[in-house]
Chain A
Amino acid sequence: MSDNSKIVLELKNVTQIFAESGVRACHDISMQVQGSEILAVMGENGAGKSTLMFLISGFMEPGRGEILCRGGKNPADLRALVGMVHQKPLLAGDLSVLENIILGPEKGLFRKDVLKEEIAAVQERYNLPLDLHLKAKQLTAPQIQRCELIRALWKNKELLILDEPTASLSTTQSEELFELLLRLKGEGKTVIFISHKIHEVMKVADRIAVIRRGELQGIDAKGNLSPREISRLMIGEDTLPGEEPAAEKRGEIDRTGVPVLELSNLGYSETGTRRLDSINLSLYPGEILGMGGIRENGLTHVEDILCGLEQPDTGFILLNGKNRMPLTPLKLRRSGISYIPADRLKRGAAPESTLAENLSVLKRQAGFGSYRKRLFSWAGQFISDHAIKGEAKQKVKTLSGGNIQKMIVARELENNPPLLIVSEPSWGLDFKSRDRLHSQLVQAREEGIAILLLTTDLDELLSLSDRICVLTEGRLTEIERTEEQWNRYYIGEKMTGADRA
């Protein structure tokens, strides 16, 4: 099938680095997309899939490299070729569905009745019912997706890109979508769809491309890749140096008392889709419970619910055996619980304020004289005690990511909390600070602190946790501490859903 004349799109050494954040979203990606095929692009969250699709759809222009379609590399050509169904809703809420569909760079008047008939014919043909008069802001996530799909079909786009189309769909809706995609392929259209669910990809895709940390790990026909291989490509093989088997040195943990944290039958839905489904767990003093998973498979929602920013639809959160619903950030802090968020600059620190101000919650600076002076001298001492590279008067945003994390960790551990919620603690840290952070967490556990570790990093999960559970599509599975299960491959397959393909 790889006949050279049928190439629809070609990427040559495409690299995209975001100037503001310095994030390298795509690095040196070269690949070809052929006519009438279904290409699945897989990878973890933040792997650069969406950015790549934005580049292909002409929404962004690549920093380096080129994207060729029909021999040219004009973004306008790309836009004419590609119809994209976005992951995040990209519609003008105050415009009707019809108006959103016909919006484009064309000029002049439009005949509403004629266009409506045209679009209705497309809907009829592909069986995509949707009321064209609804305002876009009234639509649910699956309807928004359908609206964008109708537009792409009406515009007769040759290449359709669907960014995580099944994330907000039920199983039957997904089945319907895949049937439609297969039908479109039969009509000669090309489909690229993004997913991190291996079982769906194995069902419909012809070829599979795996992206990890902005790099193309492999692209091959479905037959040449097993679910296991895909899962390995997605999570990576590299083992880090200086890994300490911290958890194994431990004796038995007393699990007879009252758990510090107990989740009972927790459920959460978002735009009609079930994100978390009856989550039960209990966490006892002096243990690290690792929760692994892909972030979109519910890990973010667990984090948001546990830090009190979101309220679950069902279930309870018990702290020290007491029902603490509804949990709010204030209640959490009043109970002395510490939280190290994944998003350091938005949740973990106030980037525009000084280091001293960010630390000021720890100690009330009572006494006579200048408050500022006392705060800064105390903070200066704190900073040098914890080996943070920075000045008390420095704004937090001017620090390096590793030092910001150091500051947050030191602050959250300072007052010996009963419970520590940690999310992605080692994102973007180098090996040294990562090791330091891990030994800090282990030491905290020795002191009897209960730690809930939410992470997508398998090595971190395995080396720190006393117990591990994995979140897959909203459901929690506990990993047994056996030779067969307690390894990165088994957990990786559980995480990506490869075991169900």
Chain B
Amino acid sequence: MILAIFGSATPLILAALGGLLTERAGILNIALEGMILGSAFAAVIVGGMTGSLALAVLAAIGAGVLAALLFNLGTFTLKGNPFITGLGINVLVPALTVSISQSLYGNQGIIRPDGLSGISRIGGMDIFIPLALLLAVLLQIIFFRTRKGLIIRSCGEQEDLLRARGINPVSIKKEMVIYSGLFSGLAGAALSLGLGVYVPGMSAGKGWIALVAIYLGYRKVPGVVAACLLFSLAEWGANRAQGFLGVPPTLILSFPYFMTMAALWLFSVKKRKKVDCSGGFRVN
């Protein structure tokens, strides 16, 4: 059970960590959802063609970074609204995967190449599980023990401070978006290679839930990981409950999403209570 929960939490954790990087740098990466889906697709396509785990993961990362570059182009180079750019990517990717799969496999549905099932399992455990936890620890170290971490954390708060210290905040943001593309790439790979299958729309809102997890976890690495595990627990519970509860299964399956909403609401209530001390500099 624990392994199952961790397994389903892994893509979520990876995506949320990537989102956390951009969020801390002061730009919310709305495009996580599209990045995950694109990478999941790329991982299965390349994995199916080559049968190699490493190449499949690389392809997934490549797809994620490509989407991140697109995000940077729209947001920074062309100075568009980051929300619109992100939404654009989220709409573009599912459409793109459908047309590519049509031209490669002649269908628009599930892609199940041979020999891909269980490719990421080594010794009975999905390698993405330890990878995600390792990256979480690494990120915590980067945030609080390196100079880069200081730069990232202050970028989301006081861009002028960075300018005064001779650092360009925009290039930091661009860099973080690319890293979040990389993390989302891993998330997509974990999602599709774990099953050995690509299903259209298989990201199923994971990118959005990852965004919620960032806020729910108070923008801190341990909190974000815990929030992701909580969602996976809810998902696991909902899957199990289908069997024995007399409630329509679609309603049960939407439980994690309801929980997301409730959590977000509770968070905003809590935040409103302590808004006095969080609002900038203290005035006495």
B161 x A271 contact (CB < 8 A) = no
CB pair A84–B147 under 8 Å, yes or no, is no
Interface flags for A82-117 (1: CB within 8 Å of B; 0: not) read 001010011111110001101111111110100000
Interface core residue of B145, B158, B162, B167 (most chain A CB under 10 Å)? B158
A103-B151, A139-B281 known; A90-B146 Cβ under 8 A: no
Residue of B nearest to A76 (CB): B166
Given A137-B282, A140-B282, are A57 and B157 also a contact pair (CB < 8 Å)? Answer: no
A52, CB-defined interface residue at 8 Å: no
Which residues of chain A have C-beta atoms less than 8 A from B147's C-beta? 102-104, 106-110
**B residues engaging A (CB < 8 A)?**
145-148, 150-151, 153-154, 157-158, 160-167, 277-278, 280-284
- Find the B residue at minimum CB distance from A269: B284
Q: Residues 143-162 of chain A: 1 if any B CB is under 8 Å from the residue's CB, otherwise 0?
A: 01000000000000000000
Once the chains bind, are B153 and A95 in contact (CB under 8 Å)? yes
Q: Knowing A58-B166, A271-B284 are in contact, say whether A103-B161 is a contact too (CB < 8 A).
A: yes
Residue pair A104, B153 in contact (C-beta under 8 Å) = no
Taking a contact as CB atoms under 8 Å apart, the answer to whether B154 and A57 are in contact is no
Set B158, B167, B278: member contacting A91, Cβ < 8 A: B158
Whether the Cβ atoms of A92 and B153 lie closer than 8 Å is yes
Nearest CB of B to A239, in Å: 40
Tally of contact residues, A, Cβ under 8 A: 36
Identify A93's interface contact among B151, B281, B283, CB under 8 A.
B281
Tell whether, in the assembled complex, residue B160 and residue A92 are in contact, meaning their CB atoms are under 8 Å apart.
no
Known A90-B160, A104-B165, A140-B284; further 15 A-B contacts with Cβ < 8 A: A58-B166, A59-B160, A79-B165, A90-B161, A99-B150, A100-B161, A102-B150, A103-B150, A104-B147, A105-B166, A109-B147, A110-B147, A112-B145, A138-B282, A270-B283
Shortest Cβ distance from B163 into A: residue: A59
A93 to B283, CA, bound (A): 13
- Beta-carbon contact of A90 and B164 below 8 Å: yes
- A93-B162 Cα distance, complex, nearest whole Å: 13
Cβ of B154 and Cβ of A105 under 8 Å apart? Answer: no
Q: Write the nearest CB–CB distance from B246 to chain A, whole angstroms.
A: 48
Q: Say if the beta carbon of A272 comes within 8 Å of chain B.
A: yes
Question: When A139-B281, A140-B284, A271-B283 are in contact, do A92 and B157 touch as well, CB less than 8 Å?
Answer: yes
* Shortest 6 CB-CB contacts between residues of A and residues of B: A92-B154, A92-B157, A92-B158, A103-B150, A79-B166, A105-B166
B140 CB to closest chain A CB (Å) equals 13
| A99 proximity list for chain B (CB < 8 A) | 150, 153-154
Contacts of A100 in B (CB 8 A): 154, 161
A residues near B280, Cβ cutoff 8 Å: 93, 137
Residues of A within 8 A of B277 (CB): 137
* A contact residues around B154 at 8 Å (CB): 92, 95, 99-100, 103
Q: Judging by beta carbons under 8 Å apart, are A95 and B150 in contact?
A: yes
Residues of B within 8 A of A106 (CB): 147
CA distance A92 to B145 in the complex (A): 17
Residues of B within 8 A of A105 (CB): 165-167
Instruction: Give chain B residues whose Cβ lies under 8 Å from the Cβ of A92.
Output: 153-154, 157-158, 161
Roughly how many angstroms separate A59 CA and B158 CA in the complex, as a whole number?
A: 14
| Known contacts A94-B153, A103-B154, A110-B146; A59/B164 CB under 8 A | yes
Kindly state the separation between the CA atoms of A144 and B153 in the bound complex, as whole angstroms. 19
Distance A99 CA – B144 CA, assembled complex (angstroms): 9
Give the complex CA separation of A79 and B163 in angstroms.
10
The residue among B148, B154, B160, B284 with the most chain A CB atoms within 10 A of its own CB is: B154
Distance in Å: Cβ of A269 to nearest Cβ of chain B: 8
Give CA–CA (A59, B161) in the complex, Å: 10
- Give chain A nearest CB distance to B152 CB in angstroms: 11
Q: How far is the CA of A270 from the CA of B282 in the complex (A)?
A: 10
Q: In this complex, which of A75, A76, A79, A93 has the most chain B Cβ atoms within 10 angstroms of its Cβ? A: A93
Nearest-neighbour CB distance to chain B for A2, whole angstroms, equals 30
The answer to whether A84 and B164 have CB atoms under 8 Å apart is: yes
CA distance A124 to B150 in the complex (A): 25
Which residues of A (262-280) have their CB < 8 Å from a CB of B? 270-272
Shortest distance from the beta carbon of B155 to any chain A beta carbon, whole Å: 8
Q: What chain A residues lie within 8 Å of B283 (beta carbons)?
A: 270-271
Note all chain A residues with C-beta closer than 8 A to B148: 107
Which residues on A sit within 8 Å (CB–CB) of B150? 95, 99, 102-103
Determine the residue in chain A with the shortest Cβ distance to B162: A103
Instruction: Give every chain A residue within 8 A of B151 (Cβ-Cβ).
Output: 103
Contact of B145 among A104, A109, A137 (CB under 8 A): A109
Contact in complex: A109, B146 (CB < 8 Å): yes
Q: Which residue of A lies closest to B150 (CB)?
A: A103
Residues on B with beta carbons closer than 8 Å to the beta carbon of A102: 147, 150
Q: Which residues of B contact A84 (CB under 8 A)?
A: 164
CB proximity of A310 to chain B, nearest CB, Å: 11
- State which residues 256-307 of A face B: CB under 8 Å: 270-272
Q: Are A91 and B282 also in contact (CB < 8 A) when A103-B154, A104-B147, A110-B146 are?
A: no
> What are the residues of chain B within 8 A of A112 when measuring CB–CB?
145
Q: Are A91 and B161 in contact (CB under 8 A)?
A: yes
The chain A residue with its CB closest to the CB of B165 is A104
Cα distance A84–B164 in the bound complex, in angstroms: 9
Which chain B residue has the least Cβ–Cβ distance from A92? B154
Q: How far is the CB of B213 from chain A (nearest CB, A)?
A: 19
Q: Are B146 and A108 in contact (CB under 8 A)?
A: yes
With a cutoff of 8 Å between Cβ atoms, the chain B residues found around residue A110 in the complex are 145-147
A426 to B283, CA, bound (A): 33
Taken together as a complex, chains A and B put the C-alpha atoms of A136 and B153 apart, in Å, by 13
> What does the 1/0 interface line of A232-244 toward B look like (CB < 8 Å)?
0000000000000
CA distance A103 to B277 in the complex (A): 24
| Distance between Cα atoms of A109 and B157 in the complex (Å) | 21
> CB distance B158 to A90 under 8 Å?
yes
Query: Which of A89, A107, A109 contacts B281, CB < 8 Å?
Result: A89
